[in-house]
Amino acid sequence: MARHTTLRIGGPADAWFEPATVRALQAGVRLAAERGLPVSAVGGGSNLLVLDGGVRGLVVSTRALRGLEREGEQTLRVEAGVSTGKLLLVATQWELGGVEFLGGVPGSVGGGLIMNAGTTLGEFKDTTTEVASVRLADGELVRRTAKECDFGYRCSALPANEIVVWGRLTLRPRPRVEIEADVRALRDRRREREPKGLPNAGSIFKNPPGLFAGRLIEEAGLKGRRIGGAEVSEKHANWIVNAGGATAADLLALVDLVRTAVRERHALELELEVKLLGES
Ligand SMILES: Cc1cc2nc3c(=O)[nH]c(=O)nc-3n(C[C@H](O)[C@H](O)[C@H](O)COP(=O)(O)OP(=O)(O)OC[C@H]3O[C@@H](n4cnc5c(N)ncnc54)[C@H](O)[C@@H]3O)c2cc1C
């Protein structure tokens, strides 16, 4: 799984399934259910720490679900495997605004919906009107309104026993030059503060209400702290990078160390933003 995560960490999956259609995904999920195999989903692997023992059962990659249709003037139906970069590119070409916030956010639309990914410019919640997912128990398609998805800060109520297969987004007409100016400014701001060059998963912890996890970690004096191959980035303390040969155990040990230091100093419990998958 190290090949399928931006952290480049993770043991093997028992089985890897890359369906090209929603129907094929449903069939695979039903087969797994009949055989009692556990099923998990992976999108771009950009918010994922796969543990060193790997993942039992079937890992479904959404990467081949790449449909992107325009419905009427302003609505897009986007399959889960479409990359956030592709969505932003197409919306820009069609002069539709609303996903500028994706500038520099990696991953897939499915992962973005589950996480309600976002930046200072917005989040998936702002444009999503409907989400469809496949239920792992029986392969049935379930459709939910945005309200039912109950999007929050880097989370949603989309259940863990379903795989998101598409989302419907309603955008608004906006001149291409304006979209590009916003995206460029966002990317420039990000470039200044984000580490480049070493495998990572973006922010490791969620920001506590009204605070920045990065600042709390920096104040605890942990920039540059290293365990094995895992290192608290010198550039942005809420990023833990794989500085070379890191294992999931290294990264989790560093997460523990950071949490303990922040708890002792600020009496605050940092919550992981990155999702864990598999067994140690
Ligand atoms: C350099 C960098 C910068 C980043 N910057 C940001 C940022 O600014 N804002 C932000 O919000 N995030 C950011 N992230 C984190 C990440 O890009 C987002 O959380 C992204 O939405 C994750 O999408 P993904 O497809 O990679 O999901 P994955 O990492 O593949 O999966 C994340 C979780 O969702 C589940 N999942 C994935 N796809 C599906 C599906 N179709 N159905 C059901 N479950 C699924 C997985 O099982 C896992 O639990 C950054 C990451 C990196 C590496």
Centroid of ligand 1 to alpha carbon of 171 (angstroms): 21
- Per-domain boundaries in the chain: 2-61, 68-178, 213-277
Burial of 147 (0-12, 13-18, 19+ CB in 10 A): exposed
pLDDT of residue 231: 98
E strand or H helix that includes residue 132: strand 128-135
CATH topology of domain 68-178: 3.30.465
pLDDT of residue 88: 98
How far from 240 is each of 88, 268, 273, CA to CA, in Å? 27, 19, 12
Ligand 1 pocket residue status of 248, Cβ below 6 Å? no
Q: Residue 16's Cα: distance from chain center in Å? A: 19
- Note the pTM of the prediction, 2 decimals: 0.96
The residue whose C-alpha atom lies closest to atom 9 belonging to ligand 1 is 118
Interval 101-118: pLDDT, tens: 999 999 999 999 999 999
**CATH architecture for the domain at 213-277:** Alpha-Beta Complex (3.90)
Q: Do the strands 172-173 and 226-227 form a parallel or antiparallel pair, or are they unpaired?
A: unpaired
Ligand 1 pocket residue status of 49, Cβ below 6 Å? no
Index of the ligand 1 atom closest to the CA of residue 117: 11
pLDDT of residue 51: 98
Index of the ligand 1 atom closest to the CA of residue 273: 19
CATH topology of domain 2-61: 3.30.43
Query: What tokens were used for 172?
Result: 């608004």
Helix axes 84-93, 176-193, angle to 10 degrees: 150
Q: How far apart are CA 185 and CA 271, in angstroms?
A: 29
pLDDT of residue 207: 96
E strand or H helix that includes residue 165: strand 162-170
Q: How far apart are CA 158 and CA 163, in angstroms?
A: 9
The residue whose C-alpha atom lies closest to atom 47 belonging to ligand 1 is 41
Centroid of ligand 1 to alpha carbon of 168 (angstroms): 18
Q: How far apart are CA 117 and CA 106, in angstroms?
A: 10
Residue whose entry in the numeric block shows the structure tokens 């933003």? 273
pLDDT of residue 195: 87
pLDDT of residue 149: 98
Query: What tokens were used for 117?
Result: 């990914």
Which residues in the chain land under pLDDT 50? Answer: none
Residue whose entry in the numeric block shows the structure tokens 């916030």? 101
